[in-house]
Structure 1
Amino acid sequence: MSRLLGDTLPDDLVAELDGTGLAGKVGQAYLLVTSDEDGMPRPCMLSAGELLAVDGRRVRVALWAGSRTSANLARDGRALLCHVAPRKVVYVRGRVQTLDAGPDLDLDCFELEVGSVESDEHHGMPVTTGITFAVEGEDPAAVVATWARQLARLRAAT
């Protein structure tokens, strides 16, 4: 059963999404859920290079330009961000607004204002692995460099 933590991100999640130490965050994945026009859920997997916790109440998101998730956020303005890691599951619900990150970034950018944060823990039956991804066929350092550029633009977005 989920337990309400409040309306602020846990400190450890803010640290995970603070845009620093990106090389150590390659592989960690987060799930952003929106609703399509017909009301069906639309999941979107994101990395630490596409999310930036500005503080405990705001998370910025960079998505592929023109994606269905971007369209859903622009239309509906609501989202659920899920973080699944060993012994920790956090659900962040909130309202989203569009950000302008400049014309040279081929991404759609948004800011999620945290409305509620819940934790889902089952004593005696802990989550043992999180949602992860691998970097194949590309240099992880190049991925981290791209993330750093994206996050710099997210930080500066208005």
Structure 2
Amino acid sequence: MLTEHLPEALYTLLDGTELEKKQHDAFVLQSVTKEGRPHAAMISAGEILAVSSTNLRLALWKNTTTVNSLRHSGQALFIAWHGGAAYYVTLECEALPPLKEAKYERERFSCRVITVKEDRAKYADLTSGPVIRLHEPDGVLKRWSETLEELKR
């Protein structure tokens, strides 16, 4: 199924709430380098925020290949696994201005959803995607919560 907006289940996964329940979810953000090569980066529930069903915001570590690629092309593919399906979300991203009072040095991007492909098999359920275990959950969840609050601005 191909749409131009996030389905409700994916929107809820990325809405910035209940981070404790989402602390084990990991996603992939693919971009294209200046050299035209694909680049994949893992991101967490504390680095992406669905502000609507057609707009996502990203908070990425500075000076990374992903940030440089997004600044160059503005194109990305976000991949998530949830509720028995894989989701491939094509994005058009633009940098947001830095927050002077930001607690963590992150590059922020606003990304418009271009297409969403929901991929389900008729004969099987996808039971998981990448799963992570945080070394220091309390500190990380606090940072994620603060980072997502900054993405709302």
Q: Indicate the TM-score class for this superposition, using the shorter chain for normalisation.
A: over 0.9
**Given the alignment of the two structures, is residue 99 of structure 1 paired with residue 96 of structure 2, yes or no?**
yes
Once superposed, which parts of structure 1, at least 4 consecutive aligned residues long, lie more than 3 Å away?
Answer: none
**Given the alignment of the two structures, is residue 123 of structure 1 paired with residue 122 of structure 2, yes or no?**
yes
Tell me how far 1:126 sits from its aligned partner. 2.6
Name the counterpart of 1:25. Answer: 22
Q: 2:143 corresponds to which letter in structure 1? A: T
Question: Take 2:138 and 2:70, find their aligned partners in 1: how far apart are those partners?
Answer: 30
Q: Identify unmatched segments of 5+ residues in structure 2.
A: none
Q: 2:92 corresponds to which letter in structure 1? A: R
Tell me how far 1:36 sits from its aligned partner. 1.1
Count the aligned residue pairs: 151
Question: Take 1:68 and 1:49, find their aligned partners in 2: how far apart are those partners?
Answer: 19
Name the counterpart of 2:81. Answer: 84
Name the counterpart of 1:52. Answer: 49
Question: Take 1:126 and 1:66, find their aligned partners in 2: how far apart are those partners?
Answer: 38
Question: Take 1:101 and 1:56, find their aligned partners in 2: how far apart are those partners?
Answer: 24
Question: Take 2:50 and 2:128, find their aligned partners in 1: how far apart are those partners?
Answer: 23
Q: Identify unmatched segments of 5+ residues in structure 1.
A: none
Structure 1's 73 and 17: CA in aligned 2 closer, same or farther, altered over 3 A?
same
Tell me if structure 2 keeps the 8 A contact 1:85–1:131.
no
Question: Take 2:24 and 2:80, find their aligned partners in 1: how far apart are those partners?
Answer: 13
Tell me how far 1:123 sits from its aligned partner. 1.3
Tell me how far 1:37 sits from its aligned partner. 1.6
**Given the alignment of the two structures, is residue 38 of structure 1 paired with residue 41 of structure 2, yes or no?**
no
TM-score computed with the length of structure 1 as normaliser: 0.91
Q: Deviation string for 1:81-103 (max 9, x for gaps)?
A: 00123511111002101012413
Q: Deviation string for 1:54-84 (max 9, x for gaps)?
A: 0000000010011110000011011100012
**Is the partner of 1:91 in helix, strand or coil?**
strand
Question: Take 1:72 and 1:79, find their aligned partners in 2: how far apart are those partners?
Answer: 9
Tell me if structure 2 keeps the 8 A contact 1:52–1:60.
yes
Name the counterpart of 1:73. Answer: 70
Question: Take 1:87 and 1:34, find their aligned partners in 2: how far apart are those partners?
Answer: 25
Name the counterpart of 2:113. Answer: 114
Tell me if structure 1 keeps the 8 A contact 2:75–2:93.
yes
Q: CA RMSD in A?
A: 1.2
TM-score computed with the length of structure 2 as normaliser: 0.94
